[in-house]
Each structure stands twice: as C-alpha cells, then as structure tokens.
Amino acid sequence: MFERLDQLESRYEDLTRALASPEIVTDSAKYQKTAKAHSELSDIVEKYREYKDLTRGIVESKTVLADEKDPEMRAYAQEELTQLEARVAQVEADLKVLLIPKDPNDEKDVILEIRAGTGGDEATLFADEMFRMYSRYAETKGWKVEVLSTSESSVGGLKEVIAIIEGKRVYSQLKYESGVHRVQRVPATEQQGRVHTSAVTVAVLPEAEDVDIKIEAKDLRIDTFCSSGPGGQSVNTTYSAVRITHIPTNTVVSCQDEKSQIKNREKGMRVLRSRLYEIEMQKQQEALAKERKAMVGSGDRSEKIRTYNFPQNRVTDHRIGLTIHQLTEVMDGKLQPIVDGLITHYQAEKLKSEATPVA
C-alpha cells in the first residue's frame, strides 16, 4: 500500500511542477487536464503526508519514553503517543478507502427517472412526493434540477418524471438510489383507514457527454406530435413534442415539456445519450449490469430496496439494515444520513473484495 502511495505522491509533485511550467500554462487544454489530475490526487496525498507526520511523531514520542527519566515528561510523552496512535489508525483506514478505484462516473451529473409501479393512483402520488424529496435534497447540496419530461395522472400524481440534476459530484451521492421504493400508508381515497402498499421505481443514470457515446444520425428516427396533458387533453396544437428512437437498440425517448420542438429534441437527446451510455457500460461490466437489473427490478412491491412506512414514521433501507424514525424529515429532503450509510457500506464491501496486505 505504501509503495503505491509513494508513487502517487511523486506523481502529484510532478503535476505541481507542471502546473507552473510555461508550456502547460499557455495551453488551456493541457492546463485543464493537468489541473484536474492534480486535484484528483490532492486528497490522498494530503492524507498520506498527514500519515507520515503522525508516524514521525510516534517515533519521537517512543524515543522520549525510552530516554527520558523525568516522570512528568514521560507522562506527557505517553499521552501524546496514545493520541498519535489512535489518529494514525484512523488515517490509515482513510487511506485504504481513498485507494479504492474511483467510479469514473462519480463526477457526472445524473438523469433521474421516477416511475409509478404497483399501487395505481396512490403510486403516482408517491412518485410525485419522491420527486419533491430528491428536489429538496438537491437544494441542500446546491444542485440544479431541470425537468425533462413528465406524465401526470388524473389525480395529480406523476406516472413518470425524468429530470437532470446538475452539480458537484451528483452521481457519487445518488447512484445507490436506483431500485424499487415501497410506501406503506393510508391513501387519501381509502375510506376504511386501511394501510396500502405501493411502489415506485427510481433509476439514476450518469449523464453521458458527446465524448462518452457517439450517436449516428442514420441510427435515429425522430417523430413529432402534439403534446398532451393528463387524461390525453391537448396542451397545444403545434407539433412541438418529440419522440426519438435509436433504431439499433430500440431505445425510445419522448420529451414534450417545452413549447419549442428544438428544445424538446435537445432534452430528448440528453436522455437518450445517457441511456445508451448505460447500455454500453453494462456491456463492458456484465457483473455491474446484473446488479443494476436486480436493483431496479420491475416495480413489484416485493423487489424493494427501501420502505417508507408513514404510520410508524419510519424509513428502512433493506440493503444495509438502516432504519430511521424521521420519515417526515426524509421526505423533506434530509437524505444525507441514508446516503452516507450507503456510501460507507459499499466502500467497506469494495475494501473486502480489493483488500491488499499492508506493507
């Protein structure tokens, strides 16, 4: 592990020198690429330097304990040694996490897709509340949410909503939200006060850029139609809505939120590009593809990753066994405890599978 850390520190120092060289400073593209690589290494190098400072402190404290005769100085050195050893253990654990290969998508914006599953009208109402939950969470992170497409139900819920969330490291925080979310509560339409169970599916896709996926014009079929609202009612009489079909994969995307056909096409292409990128990633990483398919499922109640129980004010994430009795706060966007729990769990899983002996 420490040989690898020495190599990373050396690389970091090379990049630091490069950022000051005239050749890099005068070339915008090279400078941005170098600065990004430098930034990606900064956290782990700073942590490694802290580790080295701590180990030097431990050696010095042990030397004092071995040579010092004064009881007061020995007590001081022992106290300092205890603190340093506790801190160095934590820093070493942090380094192991930082050495886990990073998900190349962690820095990306995301396409968020929420769809009502089993449960009829109640599922569409919960889908609407789920979208509000993620929107409020995005606000707390300083992210921007832009709706790309919606399909409303007759009761004011959402059959489907597709949005893009833009900001700093969005995918790294939301990537574990994909799957079936189950809700247990008494619907507003229920006369007998019985608790019903409904489900909503969530898919979080990293937004693909042009460099990630190439789409040939010959592979697209683009149809236009009049956009419509809930119940099929007409919203406008111009052919502004767009349906894009990627013929090789039979992937279909529709967008009708904008009055401009050009804008709807642009938004539709963003969604299509991300879906095709996801398909390509699945081809490259078959194991990951199986995991994601299992996570998203069909929208059946039995395939849940998380349960929102309103009568008991409880949220349970079944993958990590985390239960929080603060459902109201979670639905208001306070998702961070759950997000942090998932990140910690999956980091630990990666550490187990990629563990290397400490030098």
Radius of gyration over alpha carbons of the chain, in Å? 26
CB atoms inside a 10 Å sphere around CB 112: 26
Q: Are residues 49 and 144 in the same domain?
A: no
Q: Are residues 121 and 263 in the same domain?
A: yes
At 284, is the pLDDT very low, low, confident or very high (cuts 50, 70, 90)?
Answer: low
> pLDDT value at position 303?
67
Q: Taking each helix axis as running N to C, give the angle between helix 28-67 and helix 71-98, from 0 to 180 degrees, rounded to the nearest 10.
A: 150
Kindly state the tokens that stand for 196.
Answer: 């019903």
Helix (H, G, I), strand (E, B) or coil at 1: coil
Residue 353 lies in a domain: no
Residue 252 lies in a domain: yes
Residue 357 lies in a domain: no
Q: Are residues 9 and 157 in the same domain?
A: no
> pLDDT value at position 237?
54
> pLDDT value at position 180?
95
pLDDT, tens digit (0-9, with 9 covering 90-100), for 124-168? 999 999 999 999 999 999 999 999 888 899 888 999 999 999 999
pTM of the model: 0.68
Rounded Cα distance, 163 and 261, in Å: 18
Q: What is the mean pLDDT of residues 345-356?
A: 75
Residue 104 lies in a domain: no
At 53, is the pLDDT very low, low, confident or very high (cuts 50, 70, 90)?
Answer: very high
Share of the chain above pLDDT 90, in %: 42
| String of DSSP letters for 157-216 | -EEEEEEEEESTTHHHHHGGG-EEEEEEE--TT-SS---EEEEEEEEEEEPPPTTT----
At 290, is the pLDDT very low, low, confident or very high (cuts 50, 70, 90)?
Answer: low
Q: Are residues 216 and 91 in the same domain?
A: no
Q: Are residues 260 and 232 in the same domain?
A: yes
Q: Are residues 121 and 46 in the same domain?
A: no
Please count the structural domains in the chain: 2
Q: Are residues 210 and 287 in the same domain?
A: yes
Average pLDDT, the chain: 85
CB atoms inside a 10 Å sphere around CB 351: 15
Strand partners, 323: 316
Rounded Cα distance, 106 and 172, in Å: 4
Range of the domain at 28: 2-98
At 263, is the pLDDT very low, low, confident or very high (cuts 50, 70, 90)?
Answer: confident
Please say which residue of 53, 75, 98 terminates a domain.
98
Q: Which of 207, 113, 204 minimizes the C-alpha distance to 159?
A: 113
Kindly state the tokens that stand for 248.
Answer: 């090789």
DSSP-assigned letter for residue 145? E
pLDDT above 90 for 337: yes
Q: Are residues 123 and 29 in the same domain?
A: no
Kindly state the tokens that stand for 325.
Answer: 């009795």
Residue 238 or residue 129, greater confidence? 129
205-237 as b/e: b if 16+ CB within 10 A: bbbbeeebbebeeeeeeeeeeebeebeeeeeee
> pLDDT value at position 212?
65
Please say which residue of 76, 98, 120 terminates a domain.
98
Q: Are residues 267 and 237 in the same domain?
A: yes
Residue 44 lies in a domain: yes
Please say which residue of 72, 98, 124 terminates a domain.
98
Q: Which of 111, 119, 137 minimizes the C-alpha distance to 180?
A: 119
> pLDDT value at position 193?
77
Rounded Cα distance, 114 and 149, in Å: 11
What's the CATH code of the domain at 342? 3.30.70.1660
pLDDT, tens digit (0-9, with 9 covering 90-100), for 79-119? 999 999 999 999 988 888 888 778 888 888 999 999 999 88
Residue 291 CA: distances (Å) to CA of 111, 176, 244, 294: 19, 11, 28, 5
Residue 146 lies in a domain: yes
Residue 211 lies in a domain: yes
DSSP-assigned letter for residue 234? B
pLDDT, tens digit (0-9, with 9 covering 90-100), for 300-328? 545 689 999 999 999 999 999 999 999 99
At 201, is the pLDDT very low, low, confident or very high (cuts 50, 70, 90)?
Answer: very high
Q: Are residues 127 and 208 in the same domain?
A: yes
DSSP-assigned letter for residue 111? E
Q: Are residues 240 and 176 in the same domain?
A: yes
What's the CATH code of the domain at 88? 1.20.58
Rounded Cα distance, 292 and 277, in Å: 14
Q: Are residues 115 and 161 in the same domain?
A: yes
